């Protein structure tokens, strides 16, 4: 399958990075997000709570967050959208886990079925997603791949998806409810 994506689309994010067009306010914002995350990770991974180790952690996390904070978010999301995300993501994860368990059981049934080749029907489906932000598309693509029976083959920044499905039943669920829930989670509905 040829990659017909226009190059300017694919390299848009990198171009933003190279030209350094990140507004100072957004820099501070992404620093405020990256720094606590890294510090929490530092504390958990080091497991020492004395002043020496905590000071080391604060210094190194501040340095890393200052120099490469905008690497994590080439185009930082809107603060209000991020707030919605933090609120709604914990609701989305249990539903995703439930879907993963259901789909895993289906795949387990297929694997051990004696006449498995008659049941499966691998094919690729194409559809266009209405999701807009890159983070939402990433979450959607990874959710598709996590639920067994479907693997995201290709996903463009415009929302064109190609998904490999193991049988007809797995393919019918897409994009459907999962896309609605991802859109709701990222405040895009």
Q: Could you list the residues that contact other proteins (CB under 8 A)?
A: 1, 41, 44-45, 47, 100-101, 104, 107-108, 110-112, 116-118, 120-123, 141-142, 145-149, 151-154, 164, 166
Which CB, 142 or 172, lies closer to other proteins?
142
Minimum gap (Å) between residue 170 Cβ and other proteins: 9
- CB 143: neighbour CB atoms within 10 A? 20
Give CA–CA dist 35/42, Å, rounded. Answer: 10
Minimum gap (Å) between residue 57 Cβ and other proteins: 14
Which CB, 18 or 44, lies closer to other proteins?
44
**3-class secondary-structure state, position 135:** helix
Minimum gap (Å) between residue 1 Cβ and other proteins: 5
Minimum gap (Å) between residue 164 Cβ and other proteins: 5
**Measured in whole angstroms, how far is the alpha carbon of residue 14 from the centre of its chain?**
18
Give the pair of three-digit tokens for residue 112.
């051990």
Minimum gap (Å) between residue 13 Cβ and other proteins: 16
Give CA–CA dist 74/64, Å, rounded. Answer: 16
Which CB, 130 or 142, lies closer to other proteins?
142
Residue with tokens 């606590």: 36
Which CB, 166 or 183, lies closer to other proteins?
166
Burial environment of residue 43 by CB neighbours within 10 A (0 to 12, 13 to 18, 19 or more): middle
Which CB, 148 or 175, lies closer to other proteins?
148
- Give the residue from 113, 127, 136, 131 showing the smallest Cα distance to 164: 127
């Amino acid at each position: 399958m040829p990659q017909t994506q226009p190059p300017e689309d694919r390299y848009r994010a990198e171009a933003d990075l190279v030209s350094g067009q990140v507004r100072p306010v957004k820099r501070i914002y992404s620093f405020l997000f990256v720094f606590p995350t890294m510090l929490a990770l530092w504390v958990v991974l080091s497991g020492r709570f004395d002043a020496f180790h905590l000071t080391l952690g604060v210094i190194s996390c501040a340095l890393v967050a200052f120099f490469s904070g905008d690497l994590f978010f080439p185009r930082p999301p809107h603060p209000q959208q991020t707030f919605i995300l933090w609120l709604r993501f914990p609701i989305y994860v249990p539903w995703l886990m439930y879907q993963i368990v259901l789909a895993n059981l289906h795949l387990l049934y297929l694997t051990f079925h004696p006449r498995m080749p008659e049941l499966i029907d691998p094919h690729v489906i194409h559809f266009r997603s209405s999701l807009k932000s890159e983070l939402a598309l990433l979450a959607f693509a990874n959710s598709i791949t996590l639920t067994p029976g479907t693997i995201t083959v290709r996903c463009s920044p415009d929302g064109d998806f190609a998904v490999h499905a193991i049988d007809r039943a797995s393919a019918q669920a897409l994009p459907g409810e999962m896309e609605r829930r991802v859109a709701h989670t990222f405040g895009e509905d």
